[in-house]
Amino acid sequence: MVRILKSDEDFYKAAQVTSYAFATDCGRFETRVENHKNWPESRATGYFDGDVLHAVMLSTPFTVYLWGVPVRMDGVGSFAALPEFRHGGSVAALLKESARRSAAEGVPLSMLNPFSYGFYKKYGWEYAYDAEKVKLPPEQFAHLAKFGDLRPAIPEDMPHIRRLYEQYAKRYNFMAARDEAAWKKFEEKKRLGDPAQGKGREYCYIRKELDGYLTFEMKEGESKVEFVFASPAAVRGLAGFFGRHNSPYINLDFQTPHASLFRSLAADPRAVEVISWPGFMLRVTNFKALAEAIPARENGKLNVELADDVVSENCGAFGLTFKDGRCEAGPAEPGPALKLDVYGAARLACGAKSAEALLGEGLIRGDVEAARVWDRVVPRSRVFLNFGF
């Protein structure tokens, strides 16, 4: 049976499962137990056979920007099962329960980082967008160094950093809508105003014009960079700051929605390496809640016929009425319709492609008139997930 983890014994057993599944150093087992006790309350579930825990899962609540507005999303992670219990249905039960719980709570979306795309697709999660990573040789931006007039950020800069981030993040689907706790963590990790330098430090620099900032961490492997700008001058200035460094000392290998922009700014566009690969998987868990979050650009109507083998609330025909900047989801009326399974719904919600393009590629079905209404009234945004779980 599936139930919420509550007791110290539950979390001790969960730590045993995750430490085995993720090959964690047993010398840190007690730390893992304490970390599990700090999981968001009532969001950790396990599949039990009597007192024996077979598998665990954590569903973490997030708020992300979608179409420029904040939307609730559940991030599914810490998924682990003991090998002797795999292929017995415990993981499937946890996934289905997660989707149904999100639906019941009115959460429109669920996302996860899969170990196998085919496995999670069986339960309604879908590959819906591509993520891009760039590798930037700093020397390629040396010609912009004169524009890179930045300084280390201090605590007094936080209102400007927050304003810049929120303006920027609204341009992209699935960027985090940070709350007070997230901003407090941001300030603590960047240690604003602390002059200490060295390995492990997360740096934050802001332009003196207060129109852009960047954060970066010097580390091996993939870097963590936040490149946020509000003007063309800020773009050149931030890239110029990269150009003040040397490649042996700064690693610029990071995920970004700006691969083509960096190639345009580089002295030689061919020197900017770009890697594209499938992004996180997406699931629509409550289509009605999703539709009613749409900030409609124009008035219009269409129907959506949706099938979902797991979440009953998603099944049926919805009539979407876009009026006065909002969407109302009610009973279907005569008119053009999009005919979606849960996978097509994920692709449509993601926004990486237009509805008409999805229709033309055979990834969704329905009337082209309905696809054109969707594309006309639903704001377009690029996709960029800037956090993990």
Residue 148 has a pLDDT of 81
pLDDT at 79: 86
| pLDDT for the residue numbered 354 | 96
Residues 283, 363 contacting (CB under 8 angstroms): no
User: Is 136 in contact with 256 (CB distance < 8 Å)?
Assistant: no
Is 158 found in the same domain as 59?
no
Domain boundary among 262, 278, 294: 278
189 and 155 together in one domain: yes
Give the model confidence (pLDDT) of 145-195 as tens digits. 998 889 999 999 999 999 999 999 999 999 999 999 999 999 988 888 777
* Whether residue 229 sits in one domain with residue 136: yes
- Domain shared by 166 and 28, yes or no: no
Please check whether residues 36 and 118 belong to one and the same domain. yes
Residue 27's pLDDT is 66
Residue 152: inside a domain: yes
In Å, how far are 131, 143, 151, 269, 275 from 265, measured between CA atoms? Answer: 20, 9, 22, 8, 18
Question: What is residue 36's predicted lDDT score, i.e. its pLDDT?
Answer: 87
Same domain? For 150 and 256 the reply is yes
Q: Cα separation of 229 and 203, whole Å?
A: 16
CB 316 within 8 A of CB 299: no
Q: Which domain holds residue 246?
A: 132-278
List pLDDT tens digits, range 237-288.
999 999 998 877 788 999 999 999 999 999 999 999 999 999 999 999 999 9
Among 278, 300, 328, which residue terminates a domain?
Answer: 278
**Residue 197: its pLDDT value, please?**
64
Please count the helices (runs of H) and the strands (runs of E) in the chain.
Answer: 12, 21
Residues of the chain with pLDDT under 70: 24-27, 197-200, 219-221
Of 278, 310, 340, which residue constitutes the final position of a domain? 278
Q: Count other Cβ atoms within 10 Å, centred on residue 388.
A: 8
The two three-digit tokens of residue 135, written as one number: 């590798």
> Are 44 and 75 in the same domain?
yes
Same domain as 178, residue 269: yes
What would the DSSP string read from start to end of 62-122? EEEEETTEEEEEEEEEEEEE-GGGTTSSHHHHHHHHHHHHHHHTT--EEEE--S-HHHHHT
In this structure, the answer to whether residues 137 and 257 fall within a common structural domain is yes
Residues 6+ apart with CB under 8 A from 7: none
Q: Which of 337, 116, 311, 259 shows the shortest CA–CA distance to 348?
A: 337
User: What's the angle, vertex CA 228, arms to CA 347 and CA 198, rounded to 5?
Assistant: 115
Overall domain count for the chain: 3
What was the pLDDT predicted at 150? Answer: 94
Query: CA-to-CA distance for 277 and 263, rounded, in angstroms?
Result: 18
Structure tokens at 105: 């709570």
For residue 183, the domain's CATH number is: 3.40.630.30
Query: Distance between CA 305 and CA 370 in Å, rounded?
Result: 11
Considering the entire predicted model, what is its pTM?
0.92
